[in-house]
Structures are given as structure tokens and as C-alpha cells.
Amino acid sequence: MSSHNKQLAAGLLAIALIASPAFAFDFGRPATPEEIRLWDIDVGPDGKGLPAGSGTAVQGKQIFADNCAVCHGDSGQGAIKDRLVGGQGSLASSMPVKTVGSFWPYATTLFDYIHRAMPYPTPGSLSTDETYAVTAYILSLNGIVSADGKVDKDSLPKIKMPNRDGFVPDPDFDPAKLFHNK
Amino acid sequence: MTSNTPIDELPRPANVSRRGFVGGLSAGILGAMATEASADSLADIPDRGPGADLSSHSERSRFAKIDRIPEATPGKRNIDPSDAINSKTPHQKLVGNITPTDLHYERSHSGVPDIDPAQHRLLIHGMVGKPLVFSVDDLKRMPSITRVVFIECTGNGWENWKKADPDLTVQNTHGLVSTNEWTGVPLKFLIDLVAKDKDSNWMLAEGGDGAGVDRSIPLTDEILNEAFVAYGQNGEPLRPAHGFPMRLLMPGFEGNLNIKWLRRLKFGNAPWMTRWETARYTQLLANGKARQFQLRMDTNSVITQPSGMMQIQPGYNRISGFAWSGHGKIAKVEISTDGAKTWTQAQLSLPVLSKAQSRFQMDWVWDGKPTKIVSRSTDEQGNVQPDRESFIAAMGTNALFHYNAQQTWSIDEAGRVRNVLA
């Protein structure tokens, strides 16, 4: 088929679509798989959504120093923004210290949050491997992975965070029960 | 200006008679007099005359000084706006139930993005038959609903968890709730368009801000029936601070579930455990465990007139405030003027709307003796706003969010109104 005929066929198709009666609820346009991938960044606690790649705490130390330390401090504490390290054992005290190590229940959430929201001035600017590396470094600062530890999409969901069992669901919206009576 | 300057030599504002000017001047010299005293005879009222040119939009009177206050975490006040994490509504200066659009409280997690609606899209995908992309214009063409609802930051009231700073106004203590009229497309309509899988009962809503704030939302019947994607606020497009060009509206639920700058809805069958629903908006109890998915905003009320840092006179005083509940309509508000010993039912301004601020008022004659005033609300489902003692007994003092204990204002012998715990 010549290019002229291709254009003609496309034109006829377009006319046919315009001529057909509009559906009552014909809004929006189909989302293509390629563009969904660009925005589909969420990571679940089971690791669903984690991309291929990996990073080590050793690599993460330098990336953290370059991108994160100005707000969070070289070792994840003592600077102007959220403290990321320590506080374990403080949650029942009158001065609880909520950090990744003392409070966050899932390591997957750490990857998700760094990937979507950090560094604050340029969210999403770290590569996948850099994000894994910073995740590994913050976990290592909290003694959750070793100082030369490595994380990837298989290992991250398997990490049991120290406060994993520290949450009690509101009885009205308990995910374990909410839709199980229907 | 000093009191020995000859009056006739002073510059006189236009449209003000010499007599009115002298009256105003003497009030100014006396210093402590209220504004009304500058026109205590009708002869002192300025002459009428042509006013300012008409304009493309109207500003507040220069005599009405009314502003939000940018603030940070509890106890961090009078801060540089660049350090603010919220901006509080001046309830002590407002009347009625609708918060003026520019004074609706603001809470943002990565500033206010400047979004061109022509370049904004809403993606709906996940467990759906037809993933779709919508423009703002697509939404505006759809069937819409309009509803008056409150939105409340879960941090509202957080100044009083551990102590009561006596110098707080009701803007400081309760400035993180506001009520507006919102217009948009029912969530149910969008769900039908994408043909949601019937096994999907959780939805992730994500914003287009720098933080990409995202929350997992359970698709209960109530939420399916009431949630909507709003593009209109008090009759006009959303203000950027409130989610322009579109946001999720979740009547009765945590403010941060009402995702602003909404750009993605994803359907699934379990919560995603985002940072916001794990590390942030969970309530630490006294035993060190944190309550999670406490999504509904509870039954609440506060007296706004008189309130913190005001001063009243003995004799007649009208008490006024507002009540609200994420459970539905306010059924009654009671007021105590003797420190919660005896209670009198206040008058509610009608109509009372579900999940919206409801104004109440009551006549009161103050005998000039020190006392405490406090309100408590009851909603149509019978939920009663708790007193401080039983509330703290249940929640501890570390929860940070979801403070809905009764607000007490003390009044001393000079009529000074101050924030107290109870």
C-alpha cells in the first residue's frame, strides 16, 4: 500500500469514528502501557512495583552525602529535617523519636518514598540503583542491614523492620477484616 | 501627631467632615477606645459621597484585617513562611459556616505546585478493564455534584496534647479545619468509566506535587457513595493551594486523604503502606503502639467567641462557635459556663449539613467572676465529643494527630480569655 493510500485509509477511519453516534459516557482516552509505566511508581509491602537493579550501603554513603545530608545530617540525624536514625525503644516514652529504624514498618516504603519524593528539591532525580543504595545506607545506619549490605527487589520485601509489629489498625478500617465479610 | 497640634492644621481625609475628623482624633488621642467610639453620635458619621471605581474583582475592606498564620509543628509559631508546613484559618474573625476561599486552611507537603491545567492529566488504572487518561476539560464535561463539606487536617488541635499555652488563639488551636462548597465528579462515575474489577476494594490516590503524596483508600460503600474529584471551590476553580486543577474530596475523612493536585488513581486489593499511612499519619499510643488507618475525623466543636486572647465585659455576652463531625450531622451542642459542671443546649444555625461546620450560639450573662467555658458536640450517630481527661486516658499524649477533646477557655476576673487544658 502506498503512503497516499495509507493516509486515505486513516482518513476514512477517522470519518467513520466521527460519524458513529457518541457513547453516552465517552470521556477520556485509553492509557497506553508505555505511558502507564512512566507514572506507575508505587511499591507495595510485598515488593510489588520494585524495579530491577540493586545498591549497596557503601555506594549509598556517598550518594547520601551528596544528596541528603544537607537536610538529614551525614549520619541521618542532627540536621534541619527528619531524623532517620535511632530512637529505638523510645516509642512508649514521653519523648518518642520516630525514625526509619524505630518506627517505619516496611523497608519497601523507604524505597518508594525516596524514589517519589526525595531529594526534596529534585524528586525522582536519583537512578534506580542510587535509590537502592541510599535505602541500603539508611538501613545500615539503623543496624538493619550490614555496613556492606546490598538490597534489591527480592531482598527488600524480606527485611523485617524493628517496628513491623508496632501498628494496631483502627477497628473500623482494619485491612485484614474490612472487606472479608462480604 | 501630638495632642497640642492645632486641629485645623491637620490634614483631613477626603469625605470626612471636620466634626467627624475631630471625633476620630480624640478617640485616637485617648488611645484605648474601641473603633466604634469614633462615631458614637450619628452626627459623627462621615458624609456620603462617591466611592472607588468598580473593579474586576473585589478586595476585603482595608478596615477588615484578617489573615491566616503560617505555622510549623506544635510550639513552633511566628516562623518564617518558608519554614511553615501549614497555614491556619482565623476562626476568631469569621462568622457563619463557609470559610472564605483565601482563608481556607492550607497544609502542603512540598509547597504549592504551579500547574497549567492544559498540561495536567488524571490517570486511572490498576485493577480496571479500561485504563483511561482524563484532562481537566474531560472532568468538567461529566455529570457533577456540589457539596458543602469540612476538610480537617489530622493535626488540628495538636497544640494541646501535652500542655496548654495560655497565649494561644482559636486560630492557633483549631485553625486546621475549614468548610467550603466543592464541585466535581462522583468517584463512582469514574469507577464505572474504567470498569473497575469487582475484586478491587482499595484505591491509591496520588498527587502531582513534589512529594507525590499518596494514600490508600478503602472503597467502603460510604466512600464509594460520597467521594468525588473536585475542580470547583466556592463556585470558582480550585485555588492552587487547595489542589488546582483537581483534588480528591473525601467527606468526613482525614484531610490528607483529600489528595490535592490529583494525578493518579490506581485500583488494587490491599493498602500500599505508603510513608504517609505508616510513618506519618498514624497515632502513637501510650504503650508505644501506633494506631493505623484511623481515617475518620471525629466529633468536635470549639467556641470561637469569646476565645483565646479576647477580653470580655461583665453582663450580656453571646457565646458562638462551630461543631463538626466526620460521622454525619451535628445533632446538638451543649455549652458549660461553669467549668463543665452544668450544661445548656446551644442553638444551632439551620440548616445543619452532614460533615460540614455547623454554627452554634447561646446567650450568656457573665457575673464577672472567674470561670471556664467549654462546648461539647453530639452527632446524629450519638458520638459525643470527649472531655480532655477521658480522651487522654484513651489516647495518651503522644498521638500528635486526631485531637478532638473538648476545648476549654478560662476567663479571669478581668475578663481575659485564655487557653487551658480543662
* Domain definitions of chain B by residue range: 7-44, 101-287, 300-420
- Alpha-carbon distance of A152 to A132, in angstroms, equals 7
Reported ipTM: the value is 0.88
Asked if the structure places residue A32 within a domain, the reply is no
* Helix, strand, or coil (residue B272): coil
Counting the structural domains of chain A, the total is 1
Give the CATH number of the domain where residue A122 resides.
1.10.760.10
- Cβ neighbours of B142 in A, within 8 Å: 27
Taking alpha carbons only, the member of B407, B382, B295, B402 closest to residue B330 is B382
Number of helices (H), then strands (E), in chain A: 6, 4
Selected for mutation to probe chain A from B79, B163, B278, B295 (highest A CB count within 10 Å) is B278
Residue pointed to by grid coordinates 469569621: B94
Taking an 8 Å cut-off on Cβ atoms, the answer to whether B204 and A35 are in contact is no
- Alpha-carbon distance of B88 to B76, in angstroms, equals 13
Taking an 8 Å cut-off on Cβ atoms, the answer to whether A28 and B264 are in contact is no
Checking if the pLDDT of A24 tops 70, the result is no
Could you read off the pLDDT of A58-95 as tens digits, one per residue?
999 999 999 999 999 999 999 999 999 999 999 999 99
Q: Which helix (H) or strand (E) holds A37?
A: helix A33-39
Report residue B104 as a C-alpha cell.
Answer: 481556607
Taking an 8 Å cut-off on Cβ atoms, the answer to whether A169 and B131 are in contact is no
How confident is chain B (422 residues) per 10-residue block, as mean pLDDT? 37 40 34 56 95 95 95 87 93 98 97 98 98 98 97 97 97 98 98 97 98 98 98 98 98 98 98 98 98 98 98 98 98 98 98 98 98 98 98 98 98 98 96
> Could you tell me whether strands B228-233 and B202-207 are parallel, antiparallel, or unpaired per DSSP bridges?
unpaired
- Alpha-carbon distance of B209 to B231, in angstroms, equals 16
CB-count exposure of residue B25 (10 Å: 0-12, 13-18, 19+): middle
Asked if the structure places residue A9 within a domain, the reply is no
Asked if the structure places residue A142 within a domain, the reply is yes
- Alpha-carbon distance of B380 to B352, in angstroms, equals 11
- Cβ neighbours of A123 in B, within 8 Å: 110, 210-212
Taking alpha carbons only, the member of B246, B242, B134 closest to residue B184 is B246
Choose the closest CB to A28 out of B132, B270, B271.
B132
Taking an 8 Å cut-off on Cβ atoms, the answer to whether A27 and B398 are in contact is no
Listed in order, strand segments (DSSP E) in B240-382 are: 247-249, 262-268, 283-284, 290-292, 300-305, 315-324, 330-336, 344-345, 347-348, 358-366, 371-379
pLDDT at A181: 59
* Helix, strand, or coil (residue B420): strand
pLDDT at B91: 98
Cα angle, residue B273 at apex, residues A90 and B396 outer, rounded to 5°: 35
Residue pointed to by grid coordinates 482595608: B62
Inter-chain CB pairs, A–B, below 8 Å: 140
Checking if the pLDDT of A10 tops 90, the result is no
Asked if the structure places residue A6 within a domain, the reply is no
- Cβ neighbours of B124 in A, within 8 Å: 31
Taking alpha carbons only, the member of B410, B320, B417 closest to residue B364 is B320
Instruction: Give domain B300-420's CATH number out of 3.40.50.720, 3.40.190.10, 1.20.120.430, 2.60.40.650.
Output: 2.60.40.650
Asked if the structure places residue A116 within a domain, the reply is yes
Residue pointed to by grid coordinates 465528579: B185
Backbone angles phi, psi at B150, to 5 degrees: -85, 150
Taking an 8 Å cut-off on Cβ atoms, the answer to whether A175 and B271 are in contact is yes
Complete DSSP assignment for B80-149:
-GGG-SEEE--GGG--SSPPPGGGS-EE-SS------GGG--EEEEESBSS-EEE-HHHHHHS--EEEEE
* Contact indicator for B15, B47 with CB cutoff of 8 Å: yes
* Helix, strand, or coil (residue A58): helix
What's the whole-number average pLDDT of chain A? 90
How many other β-carbons are positioned within 10 Å of the β-carbon of residue A6?
10
- Alpha-carbon distance of B298 to A170, in angstroms, equals 13
Binning chain A into helix, strand and coil, the percentages to the nearest 5 are 40, 5, 55
Across the beta sheet with B86-88, the strand order is: B69-71, B86-88, B106-107
Closest approach of chain B CAs to the CA of A9, in angstroms? 26
Cα angle, residue B294 at apex, residues B245 and B154 outer, rounded to 5°: 55
Class of domain B101-287: alpha beta
Closest approach of chain A CAs to the CA of B333, in angstroms? 25
Percent of chain A with pLDDT over 70: 85
- Cβ neighbours of A174 in B, within 8 Å: 293
- Cβ neighbours of B268 in A, within 8 Å: 44
> Could you tell me whether strands B69-71 and B86-88 are parallel, antiparallel, or unpaired per DSSP bridges?
antiparallel
Identify the bridge partners of residue B336 per DSSP, sorted by sequence position. B374
Report residue A97 as a C-alpha cell.
Answer: 523519636
Asked if the structure places residue A130 within a domain, the reply is yes
Which residues are CB-neighbours of B265 under 8 A, at least 6 positions away?
Answer: B122, B123, B124, B125, B126, B190, B203, B204, B205, B206
Choose the closest CB to B270 out of A36, A92, A175.
A175
Q: What is the mean pLDDT of residues A17-38?
A: 76
Distances (CA, A) of B386 to B56, B389, B421: 47, 8, 13
> Could you tell me whether strands B300-305 and B315-324 are parallel, antiparallel, or unpaired per DSSP bridges?
antiparallel
Asked if the structure places residue A92 within a domain, the reply is yes
Taking an 8 Å cut-off on Cβ atoms, the answer to whether A28 and B201 are in contact is no
Taking alpha carbons only, the member of B389, B407, B408 closest to residue B338 is B408
Closest CA in chain A for residue B135:
A28
- Cβ neighbours of A36 in B, within 8 Å: 123, 125, 131
Domain limits for position A106: 54-164
Asked if the structure places residue A14 within a domain, the reply is no
- Cβ neighbours of A109 in B, within 8 Å: 273-275, 278-279
Q: What is the mean pLDDT of residues A86-105?
A: 97
Choose the closest CB to A109 out of B131, B135, B275.
B275
pLDDT at A97: 98
Closest approach of chain B CAs to the CA of A5, in angstroms? 31
Taking an 8 Å cut-off on Cβ atoms, the answer to whether B218 and A179 are in contact is yes
